[in-house]
Amino acid sequence: MKLFENQNYYSLKKECQRQKVLFEDPLFPPTDESLYYKSTARLSGIQWKRPKEICENPHLVVNGISSHDLHQGQVGNCWFVAASSSLASREALWNKVVPDWKEQEWDDEKPEDYAGMFHFRFWRFGDWVDIVVDDRLPAIGSQLIYCHSNDRNEFWSALLEKAYAKLVGCYEALDGGNTADALVDFTGGVCEPVELEEGNYSTDEEKRNAFFERVLKVHQRGGLISCSIRAHSSADMEARLGCGLVKGHAYAVTDVRKVRLGHGLVAFFKSEKLFMIRMRNPWGEKEWNGPWSDGSEEWQKVSKSEREKIGVTVEDDGEFWMTFEDFCKYYTDLILCRLINTSYLSIHKTWEEAVLHGQWRKHEDPLLSRSGGCINNKGTYLQNPQFVFDVKKPEDEVLICLQQKDHRISRKLGKKENLAMGFDIHKVELNREYRMHSMQQKVASSIYINSRCVFLRIDLKEGRYVIVPTTFNAELEGEFLLRVFTDIASGCRELTLDEPPQTCWTGLCGYPKLVTQVHVIAAAGLAKQDSDGAADPYVIISCEGQKVRSTIHKDSLNPDFDTKAIFYRKKPNDLVYIQVWNNNVLNDSFMGQVTLPAGPGEQEQSFHLRDKGSRDSNELPGIVQLKIVTRDVLTHI
């Protein structure tokens, strides 16, 4: 846990109680500099008031927490309020952001303990940060001008917003933002943006139903979800459609369900269910007015008990239900904030997480520069940071999240906005330990966007891969956080060395003179080995005592090995051996080998397998296709 600006809530509170004074935060004073950083249209008559100056009997929480505790005020931060509404629907997450809230609450029996201060916690760049605020809030008369609750004497939402405003510099710095950023700050999760139009979910029922199951799983496992309708022009921003929805406006998703249709036993046995989703407008008003809206006749198809179970109300409170089909028809963007489960005690899927910090930085020496820009910058791309990881299953779902340091906190200082960034994934040799200096097979790319986070979910086959995080343009500097989630620990680490290091033993043992890359692509027509007429082959590539072994290809006489190895060779005249073996329970059987002489340049050839001691290249059936790449300059591999 990190302290924001080294302010310790507990010691500060203890000191205020000792002196019998209310806390006044010197880092976020009740002045215009805490409200604005550039606006000239400033509100008049603002006074900073403590809750007891606004109402009688103030409390942090009144009648529990809910998404109805938040109403957007006079700053364009619907993205933050929508995320906070989602947070309010998850008590366990809320308790992490608002720690020990009962201890922070006003105590009517011990009023002398109240110190006029609160603290909140946000996940920032890999750490939970504790932020202290005093209870002075901007108001005009007795009305709060920013986020507020339905209950006049409930203040958790207003104080949460103040803590976040302090984090980014001032309230105006909250104007315009990305809901995904706030969701990550509340959870430490990873956000996956989904473009609904691109997925054709409104027209393809099969894809829509599969997508609903995915959204439902995120919701059921405690994730937070937000959505919006994209505005394509400034005139579209916050324009209300005929159906009641608002463009360019962030909505919180507060429930996802399969709603049972019908009444009584008919409903139970028929088991017809409708895919439904519930949202909330941060304004606390202006709802969907189409089918299944509040009070619409469609709700008569659902029993009273079912309506009560899912909390259907007829109030203009900004919250409403839609069918998932209508949702996909009207909304354009969805954000799924997944809580990545890394606990071995959970009954749900447990992920292995790798967390690494990195930098894009310029340097006059190209080999030390780490700001090469995206792959369009062919001459400098491989100068970027490189991170290697292993997929250790035949196929695994991999989640990758790249996050840059938030430049929103610099808005008040007039500094830059977020960098446009993304990353590529390359499949490399199974034994690669040093940085790439020539292009390898690219298997995936993220989007490039000036968002704080970029996310990719992808299925990868067993092997070794390198992630290259980049800014879109070259020679830009910044810090980033890379998180990689796999089913089995991936051993993700940064590749920092360009070549094998020289040591005190180099003079005696020698130093590599040649680098050889070997790519075994496939084998064709292998001999039958098993009783069922097939084989379980794998390939071993060896050179100078080093070995690289491929995965086993079950029941195949024509396996696609696609196996790469790289050797830093002290004895360039030694041979490279490629052996094919069949996997057996007790003892693996040899199927043949190929020996390769060293040679400069690049070549792709086909070779016949032969026995270990034979010189007859046609002795054994089967052909192994090889792509051989050799270089004699280490720093260009």
Quick one: which of 94, 117, 100 has its CA closest to 166?
A: 117
On whether the CB atoms of residues 222 and 92 are closer than 8 A, the answer is yes
Does 219 qualify as catalytic in the annotation? no
- For every residue of 384-402, DSSP letters joined together read S-EEEEEEEEEEEEEEEEE
Give the three-state DSSP class for 227: strand
d(CA 256, CA 269): 22
List 281, 377, 384, 418, catalytic entry? 281
Neighbours of 229 (CB within 10 A): 19
Residues belonging to the chain: 637
Instruction: Let me know how many helices (H) and strands (E) the chain has, helices first.
Output: 12, 27
What are the distances in angstroms from CA 175 to CA 74, 145, 186, 556, 628?
10, 14, 18, 60, 56
List 219, 249, 426, 519, catalytic entry? 249
User: Residue 338 burial by CB count (10 A; 0-12/13-18/19+): exposed, middle or buried?
Assistant: buried
Tokens of 417: 């906005």
Tokens of 27: 């880092």
- For every residue of 518-550, DSSP letters joined together read EEEEEEESPPP-STTS---EEEEEEETTEEEE-
Q: Which long-range contacts (CB under 8 A, 24 or more apart) does 377-382 make?
A: 377/473, 377/474, 380/474, 381/468, 381/470, 382/435, 382/436, 382/437, 382/438, 382/439, 382/468
Tokens of 569: 């060779």
On whether the CB atoms of residues 545 and 569 are closer than 8 A, the answer is no
Beta strands per DSSP E along 188-266: 190-195, 224-228, 250-260
List 16, 68, 71, 78, catalytic entry? 78
On whether the CB atoms of residues 291 and 323 are closer than 8 A, the answer is yes
Does 509 qualify as catalytic in the annotation? no
Does 584 qualify as catalytic in the annotation? no
Please identify every residue annotated as catalytic: 78, 249, 281
